[in-house]
Amino acid sequence: MISMSRRLFLALPAAAAAASIVRPAFAMSDAQQLVEKARLAFLDMMTDDNYKEMRDYVKQSRALVIFPELIKGAFIIGAEGGSGVLVTRGPAGQGWSYPAFYTLASGSLGLQIGGQSSELVLTVMSEKALTSLINDQFKVGGNVDVAVGPVGKGLSASTTTNFSSDAYSFAKTQGAYVGMSLDGAGILSRQSRDEEYYGKGATSTGIVIQRKFANKNADILRDALSPY
C-alpha cells in the first residue's frame, strides 16, 4: 500500500506538467497585447471630453492609425518611436477591418530636452494618405500633410472643419517635452508581426484592403470602433 506522502510525491510531476501546458493558453502574445492596448487607448481618448472634437474626425475618416504608447526622449538629439495598428473603414455593412501592424520612428536634432509618453491616434482622411501607408511611403511633413487636430474646449469654433488635410493627429501626453513634433516621422508596416498574428503571407494590403485575413481575437478592437 502506497503511503499518502508517497502518493503526493508521485503526483507532483504530473501537476507541474499540467501547469506548464495550461499557462501559455492564458498568456497574450505581443501582437495581442498591442491590439488590446490600442483598444484601451482609443476608448480613453474617445470618452475624454477634452477630445470630443476628435469624434467627428474619426467618423469622417477613411482609416485610423492607433499608437497606444509612443515614446519620445531627447537630450539635444531626439528619438521617437512606438508600435501601433492600422484599421480601415469598409463599405456600408462591412465595418472596420482587422488591424494591420505598424511602427513609427523618427529622429531630430535641435534645442530639446525631456521625455514623453503619448497615446496617438491619426485620423486618415484621404486616399493618398492611406495609399502611402499601404506602400510604406508615409512620411509626416514629406509626402503627407498631417495637421494637429483640435483638442480642448473652445478650439472647435476656431478650427476649420472641412477636413482638408490628409490626416489629423490627436495625442494624449504624459511627461514634459520641449519641441515635440511628428515632422519627419515615418510610419512603416510590420509584416513579420502581421504573419505572427494572421499566418504566413499576411500583409497590410491583404488585411485592411482585400480583407483576406482575420483573427477573432481582434474583434474586441473592432467592437470598440463599431459605433464610429
Range(s) of the domain holding residue 47: 28-225
The answer to whether residue 14 is domain-embedded is: no
Percent of the chain with pLDDT over 70: 69
pLDDT of residue 85 exceeding 50, the answer is yes
The answer to whether residue 138 is domain-embedded is: yes
Mean pLDDT of the chain: 79
What the block records as the C-alpha cell of 115 is 521625455
pLDDT of residue 4 exceeding 50, the answer is no
Q: How confident is the model at residue 69 (pLDDT cuts 50, 70, 90)?
A: confident
The answer to whether residue 155 is domain-embedded is: yes
What is the mean pLDDT of the segment spanning 61-89? 77
The answer to whether residue 9 is domain-embedded is: no
Residue 139 β-bridge partners: 186
Phi, psi (deg, nearest 5) at residue 29:
-70, 165
Q: How confident is the model at residue 11 (pLDDT cuts 50, 70, 90)?
A: very low
CA dihedral 16, 20, 22, 24 (to 10 degrees): 160
The answer to whether residue 162 is domain-embedded is: yes
How high is the pLDDT of residue 152? 66
The answer to whether residue 21 is domain-embedded is: no
Burial of 162 (C-beta count, 10 Å sphere; 0-12/13-18/19+): exposed
The answer to whether residue 4 is domain-embedded is: no
The answer to whether residue 129 is domain-embedded is: yes
How high is the pLDDT of residue 144? 87
CA–CA–CA angle 131, 134, 140 (5° rounding):
70
How many separate domains does the chain show? 1
Q: What is the pLDDT of residues 182-221, one digit of tens each?
A: 767 889 999 999 999 999 999 999 999 999 999 999 999 9
